[in-house]
Structure 1
Amino acid sequence: MADDSDTPPIPSLEDMQHWTWVMGRAQQMMLEHGLQTLDDTPALPTIPGFTDKATMARAQEFWLDSMKLWQRFLDPAGAPAADEPPERAKDRRFQAPQWHENPVFDWIRQSYFLIADHLLRGVEAIEGVDPLQKEQLRFAARNFVDAMSPTNFPATNPQVLEKTIETRGENLLKGLANMLADLGKGQVTHTDSDAFEVGGNIATTPGKVVHRTRVYELIHYAPTTETVTTTPLVIFPPWINRFYILDLRPEKSFVKWAVDQGLSVFMVSWKSADASMGDVTWDDYVAAQIDAIDTIRDLLGVEGVHAIGYCVAGTTLAATLALLAARDEAAKVKSATFFTAQVDFARAGELKLFVDDDQLKLIERLSPDGFLDGRYMAATFNLLRGRDLIWNYVTNNYLLGQDYMPFDLLHWNGDTTNLPVKWHLSYLTDLYRDNLLVQPGALRIAGIPLDLTTIHTPAYVQAGREDHIAPAESVWNLTQHLKGPIRFVLAGSGHIAGVVNPPAAGKYQYWTNDTIGDTLSEFVAGATETKGSWWPDWIDWLKARDPETVPATGARVPGKGKLKAIEDAPGSYVRAH
């Protein structure tokens, strides 16, 4: 056994400070020499990103910042205070006091931010690449930085270390079980999967399925008022997700709220694609929207309907309106409301990064049976907000072993739907990649060329200020293509919470301006901010255009007209996987 004298002494703080200075000074000397050599010997080959002067200067700056960080760690009293930007104080990953009070973990946290900042700045400094490639590099770098956060690893997360000691490792076993369960089902779990049941405690607004095709079911909701608007409302939700995002728990349900406002409400519930839908194209979804409109008109004996299109179904609603205009049938839709819908994809956000030849070929390979498994789309959307929708759950549920919290919106988010691959590929190429919808005549439905400038239907266009799927500026561009009277509303929050914002919650705000202007910035500059939900603004707009009502009897009651009830809402398609 070795003598105590054989054990090397622990270096003193003074020794550590000295050797830190030595290493830092050596690195600085080497970098300065490299920069001087580039100046003195211009004939030396310059390798962009490695030996060019700008890269060398950034490397020097990185090491200088590293030395400052070490100095603060080793001699906090004598070092200047860290000048951290305000957004770091709001970073939810590092809210626990251990990240700030424990010198080791504070150093780990600051080291992470230092490396992340320099990595992202290095990407910004890259020149001579295609703009799309530059955006893809930014996206990849941000996701890499989020993945490498010390909060995601047991050894560098003080909360995980403390929890592991406290529970004697039970948290890691429970977290492993959570992770293995997610691997088994092929997607990250965000909420307690047993907390919600479609038709049980979500999607519970009373109604009947009154019509069914191979693509959709039509739900007619029961009136709750003595009279209802003469012109009914049909809602087209995105088929990328289940319709009940608009019919969550009763206090959050847009459908229930609309029914309680005295509207005759119909909902399209799209079928999750299977092998029988391998031939489905965009034409089929436009035809389905027209079929739903005609079915409602015939059932109630009315000339037209009010229509809502959400996200991709809003894009399709615009195409439907253009087709109806070309057929001289525009009167079938008396007003159109667009929730976070795009028609001009020039600035369609980060989803455009997934539209290149390699990605399109991958989608084809992943869809041998004619449909794309919805879990792949869910993974894509999660990547757009990886810090919140991936790594947050890695930390809380895999490392800390915490129970999943019940949250209806996240339950819906994980309830994926499959997509007909033929239509999905054309959607990505024709719209996202080639932006054909805003080019008059470039796209055809049923052989008829589409021209959005022929649409004179009154429109209500809603965008989310923080929308990461359909950016507000991209949604606003819709106002530049439609020719009818338009009301544009910018809502607080994003793609989901900006839409699903019941008045009773008193959350967020929205902005209105009687003058739309030539840019979104111009609209915002002259806009009036109103606290709370924009839903009352929408219902006032709708009823002002068409205030006539009729008794809520006869065919206005689901199943009492010529269309008999097939089954109770929410129907079968919403439950199919």
Structure 2
Amino acid sequence: MSETPGTDQPNPPSVTQLWQDALANVSSALGKAARAPIPTGPSQPYDPLALFRSMSGFAMGLGANPKQLFDVQLQAAREWGEFWTQAWLPKADAEKPRDRRFSAPEWEEQPYFRGLRDAYLLASKQLRAVADVADGPHSPDKAMTAFVLDQYLNAIAPTNFAMTNPEVIRRTVETGGANLAAGFAHLLEDMASGKGIVRRRSDENAFTKGGNIAATPGSVVFQNHLFQLIQYDPVTPDVHAEPMLYVPPLVNKFYMIDLQPRSSMVRWLVEQGRTVFVVSWINPDESHRDCGVEQYVLDGIVTALGEVRKKAGKAKVDLFAFCLGGTLVAITLAYLAAKGRADEVGSATLIGSMVDFADMRDWSAFVHEAHLDALETHLEKRGFIDSTELQQLFAAVRSNDLIWSSVINHYLLDRAAPPSDLLYWFEDGARIPQAFLKSYNRGLLFSNALKEGTGFEVGGVAIDLATVKTPVLLVALKDDHVSAWSAVYDGGKLFGGPVTFILGGSGHNAGVINPPAANKHGYWISGAMPDRAEDWLTGAEKQPGSWWPVWDGWLSAAGSGKRVASRKPANPIEPAPGSYVSITH
């Protein structure tokens, strides 16, 4: 690459060079695609006929409500009339849609793009209004219809097409169209990978576990067939008497709480004088086929709890968990209460975790008997569900953020995937055993067993959350797409002991990783616990910054107040983050 005379700055590549590079990438991608194995057509983890049945039921529901449908159509006609009278007028600041897809200035400044955007948003709103007309209460069938409609509307957004996206048009002019050729090469490479499209959301070479991510010093101090137990090195001369044990979900690996040092929750907790232990689940294979919820509770959490207490002089343990890990911790608390062992735990913090599954929003579409049957047939072949399939499911629920934004960046704009520690963690997924999914989906989600008391058992013990007297802190996230914050709040009513609730800002993952130094997102707190989540929010007070210090204060208030000499890992097996976290098979 040449340099501009008299400067140290390289010239930007010429259009010719961009085309040469793009065509070379296309040629290479075609070769990879030709060598890629032909898909063998495995069974699907869902029932496509259930989708058709749901859409058929939706159509019949419209026919059963002709007056409501007419009212919606009449309202739509009025809105389109208003639209065409105002389409070419600039909008006031308060009227601009808050949609990140339309952040380019042309969407507001140029009448053509502004009209295109507003027409799409209006049509989307009206189609969703039509969907609401269908008869019947909220159910998996109705949720499935809403999910399919959202997928359609997200796919046809004008931002997803080269000729209706101003950023893509600008980039295409700059490169002479080479960006589209290079994007086609990326598409071929991703399809040849066998993992589907848009698999590169983050620069996969930017991070190394134990190097610049998952790098807080510590040691593996115990392991069995399900997990490694990591203990982190202390950095203070003395520590709180109560050690902490983190239980992650199975679908992702533990180190979301130990990303880069500046955002590591583990590092922050250690700096506050906490002794931190972490469960690092194994990435299961066919040998774990029969490991269900019971095994993960007893051989996993209960065993880890015992090991932590051995290493901390039989002290009570403060459990904390995220998402599915929190559901498992709640079950563990009820099991320990039934066994007369409740005093082994000092407190439990459940972050973005559900125990009442009455309101699963978009996820209700997948907790459908036909889909569960199809999933179990699919699982029989290998004994687990693959991490790629799970990531595709999560991406579908957040298709704008995790699919279509990547389509635009990689296939239309030819932008390299940026380094993102959170996306790197998200894409480093794990498998889930057959028995676990069956016991979790049917035994907990489908029957909502923890709320309805339908006899879900672990180790011969009927799980009843009302027997849990351990102090519980529920942390929900305002924009959570996985565990709706109001559903997390409702779950607190099932516990028999004191429950405190904090509402953090942002979403399911980003809202958890909110170090105080970043001063982001904010949170809501209230001393009251009314019956309805909406009433709690009305009476809550929003605070700036991070909820982490409030949590630390709550832990101290729930604890003994005693300090002991720092606990260093004894008889280490290997350094943190351990070997289980790197198992890919």
Scaled by the length of structure 2, the TM-score of the pair is 0.83
Partner SS state of residue 366, structure 1 = helix
Instruction: Give the aligned residue type for 1:175.
Output: G
Aligned counterpart, 1:155 = 163
User: 3-state DSSP class of the match of 2:451?
Assistant: coil
Distance of aligned partners of 1:489 and 1:47 in 2 relative to their CA distance in 1, 3 Å threshold: closer
Residue 275 (structure 2) pairs with residue 264 (structure 1): yes
Hey, what does 2:494 align to over in structure 1? 481
Does the Cα contact within 8 Å between 2:65 and 2:135 map onto a contact in 1?
A: no
Instruction: Tell me the distance in 2 between the aligned counterparts of 1:318 and 1:427.
Output: 13
2:238 corresponding residue in structure 1: 227
C-alpha separation in 1, matches of 2:122 and 2:92: 10
The 1:165–1:541 alpha-carbon spacing in structure 2 relative to 1, beyond 3 Å, is same
- The residue type equivalent to 2:156 in the other structure is M
Which runs of structure 2 are paired with 1:283-432 in the superposition (5 Å)? 283-287=294-298, 288-367=300-379, 368-432=381-445
Q: Is the Cα–Cα contact under 8 Å of residues 235 and 273 in structure 2 kept in the other structure?
A: yes
Distance 2:489 2:390 in 1: 25
User: Counterpart of 1:205?
Assistant: 216
Relative to structure 1, is the Cα distance of residues 436 and 175 closer, same or farther in structure 2, using a 3 angstrom cutoff?
Answer: same
> Which of 91, 108, 113 matches 1:105?
113
Matches of 2:136 and 2:461 in 1, distance apart? 42
SS in 1 for 2:507: coil
CA distance in 1, matches of 2:282, 2:160: 37
The alpha-carbon deviation at position 133 of structure 1 amounts to 2.2
Equivalent AA in structure 1 for residue 389 of structure 2: Y
Q: How far, CA to CA, are the matches of 1:84 and 1:124 in structure 2? A: 30
CA offsets per residue over residues 367-399 of structure 1, 9 Å max, x none?
Answer: 311000011221222222211111111112211
Q: Which amino acid aligns with 1:469?
A: V
Deviates more, 1:252-261 or 1:48-57: 48-57
Moved more, 423-432 or 104-113: 104-113
After TM superposition, list the pairs within 5 Å mapping 1:14-33 onto structure 2.
Answer: none
How far 1:327 moved relative to its partner? 0.7
Which structure 1 residue ranges, 5 or more long, are not aligned?
Answer: 1-45
Structure 2: distance between partners of 1:87 and 1:374: 41
The whole-number CA distance in structure 1 between the counterparts of 2:453 and 2:82 is: 59
Aligned to 2:135: 127
What does the per-residue CA deviation read over 1:43-70, in whole Å, with 9 as the maximum and x for residues that have no partner?
Answer: xxx9955995665675566567657666
5+ unaligned residues in a row in structure 2: which ranges? 1-59
- Look up the equivalent residue of 2:238 and give its one-letter code: T
CA 1:58–1:528: 2 relative to 1, 3 Å? closer
- CA separation of 1:416/1:63 partners in 2, compared to 1, >3 Å: closer, same or farther? same
Distance 2:394 2:262 in 1: 26
Matching residue's letter, 2:153: V
Distance in 2 (CA, whole Å) between partners of 1:479 and 1:128 is 28
CA contact (8 A) 1:319 1:450 kept: yes
Alignment deviations for residues 192-227 of structure 1 (CA, whole Å, 9 cap, x no partner) = 111111111100000011111111000011111111
Q: Is the 8 A contact 1:440 1:452 kept in 2?
A: no
TM-score (ref. length: structure 1): 0.84
Give the whole-Å Cα distance in 2 for the aligned partners of 1:449 and 1:61: 52
Candidates 513, 519, 524, aligned match of 1:506: 519
Are the aligned partners of 1:272 and 1:418 in contact in 2 as well (CA < 8 Å)? yes
Distance change in 2, residues 1:441/1:365 (3 Å): closer
Q: 1:58 to 1:529 in 2, by over 3 A?
A: closer
CA RMSD in angstroms comes to: 2.5
Pairing 1:117–2:131 present: no
> What is the one-letter code of the residue matched to 1:383?
A
* Change in 2 beyond 3 A, CA 1:481/1:399: same
1:43 aligned partner: none
Is contact 2:90-2:109 (8 Å) kept? no
Structure 1 residue matching 2:450: 3-state secondary structure: coil
Q: What SS class does the counterpart of residue 313 from structure 1 fall into? A: helix
Question: For residue 557 of structure 1, what is the aligned residue in structure 2?
Answer: 568
In the alignment, the residues of structure 2 paired with residue 109 and residue 516 of structure 1 have an alpha-carbon distance, to the nearest angstrom, of: 42
Count of residues in correspondence between the two structures: 519
Q: What is the Cα deviation at residue 341 of structure 1?
A: 1.2
Q: Secondary structure at the match of 2:187?
A: helix
- Aligned letter for 1:215? L
Other-structure match for 2:575? 568
Q: 1 CA distance for matches of 2:498 and 2:61?
A: 57
Contact 1:219 1:570 in 2 (8 A): yes
For the 8 Å contact 1:441–1:451, the answer to whether it is kept is no
Cα drift, residue 324 of structure 1: 0.7
Q: Deviations over 1:66-111 (max 9, x none)?
A: 57666767xx5xxxx4879957532222222333444443443333
* Correspondence for 1:139 among 117, 131, 147: 147
Radius of gyration: which is bigger? 1
Identity of aligned residues (%): 36
Tell me, yes or no, if the aligned pair for 2:241 and 2:562 is still in contact at 8 Å: yes
Task: From the superposition, tell whether residues 170 and 300 of structure 1 become closer, same or farther in structure 2 (CA, over 3 Å).
Answer: same
Alpha-carbon separation, structure 2, partners of 1:451 and 1:63: 53
**Contact in 1 for aligned 2:232/2:275 (Cα 8 Å):** yes
Indicate which of 540, 544, 547 corresponds to 2:561.
547
Which residue of 2 is the match for residue 38 of structure 1?
none
2:173 aligned to which of 165, 168, 173: 165
2:100 corresponds in structure 1 to 92
Q: 1:228 to 1:72 in 2, by over 3 A?
A: closer
Q: Within 1, Cα distance between the matches of 2:181 and 2:399?
A: 24
Of 535, 546, 550, the match for 1:522 = 535
**Distance apart, 1:356 and its partner CA:** 0.9
Among 182, 185, 208, the alignment partner of 1:177 is 185
* Range with greater deviation from structure 2 (393-402 or 104-113): 104-113
Q: Is the 8 A contact 1:50 1:56 kept in 2?
A: no
From 247, 250, 259, the equivalent of 1:239 is 250
